[in-house]
Amino acid sequence: MALPEHLQVLQDPTLKQTSEILQVSPATVWRLCKKGILKKYKTGGCARINRESIEALRNSAA
């Protein structure tokens, strides 16, 4: 399943964008980060979610 077209140009999406991609709430994204399922990092005060960890989660759920 491909990412929505408007999000494909992003290198690593924000927490909110990740919640849109996965169709879950932002709280769920934070929970997945705490469990180590999604990898996050902060840059310029903004949390970014590692794109590869999102794809790995989506592929394992499919």
Encode pLDDT of 4-39 as tens digits.
666 565 579 999 999 999 999 999 999 999 999 999
Task: Say what the pTM is.
Answer: 0.78
* Residue 41 located in a structural domain: yes
When pLDDT is averaged across residues 29-50 and rounded to a whole number, the result is 94
What pLDDT, on the 0 to 100 scale, is given for residue 34? 96
* Residue 55 located in a structural domain: yes
* Residue 2 located in a structural domain: no
What pLDDT, on the 0 to 100 scale, is given for residue 53? 95
Residue corresponding to tokens 């992003």: 10
CB neighbours of 10 closer than 8 A, spacing ≥ 6?
A: 17, 51
Domain that holds residue 50: 13-61
* Residue 1 located in a structural domain: no
Domain count for the chain, please give it. Answer: 1
